Amino acid sequence: MAAFKLYVKYKGGKREPLEKAITLLKTYLGSIKDKQTTFDSFDAVIAEDGTTPSLVDTDVIVYLVRNIEKSVIKKQGGTVATAEANENILGMTDLNKKICEVYADRMFQDSSKELAGAIYHEMAHIKSNQDNSMHKNKNGFLKDAPDYNGNPTDENTQFMATNIGKKVSMDASY
């Protein structure tokens, strides 16, 4: 079997909430492990800005940017108009460009729980290859305007287990 790795590329924001979020994400990923048969191990790690981790076609990279003005999606020619219009949106995924990002300045009091939930949510978008249609009839971390103060629901974990093995070509060099 293989290993799944979630990279969070640190491009801005406070470091401490990210370190705590990584610990939470490892727990969330561990919950997925028993519900799927593609991977025998899961990990979440910080990738420092200026480094380019080697991704396999099942890995995910989510960029943590200081604010929407530092958007990787926008810098690569995509649009973040929805997030610009609604400051309650904590992250965006561009399915065409295969880029996920989360905005550090939108976290409530630098909440590591909220950050981990937003990263999980964007990872779900990219792995399922679904735009906002992913939110339909979902609960927990996957619904529209989620509350990340809890944990992913069993439904969220099953959704991720179903989609985690899908291949996606992401660029870790931004």
Residue 132 DSSP class: G
Residue 7, CA distances (Å) to 47, 120, 139, 144 in order? 6, 11, 25, 24
- Token code pair at residue 138: 């979902």
Query: What count of other Cβ atoms lies within 10 Å of the Cβ of residue 41?
Result: 12
pTM as predicted: 0.97
User: Where are the chain's structural domains?
Assistant: 2-163
Q: Is the pLDDT of residue 147 over 90?
A: no
Which ranges constitute the DSSP H helices of 8-110? 15-33, 72-75, 81-85
Q: Is the pLDDT of residue 70 over 90?
A: yes
Q: Does domain 2-163 have CATH number 3.40.390?
A: yes
Q: Is the pLDDT of residue 3 over 90?
A: yes
- Token code pair at residue 129: 């290859």
Asked if 131 contacts 59 with a C-beta cutoff of 8 angstroms, the reply is: no
Residue 1: band (very low, low, confident or very high) from pLDDT cuts 50, 70, 90: confident
β-pair partners for 42: 4
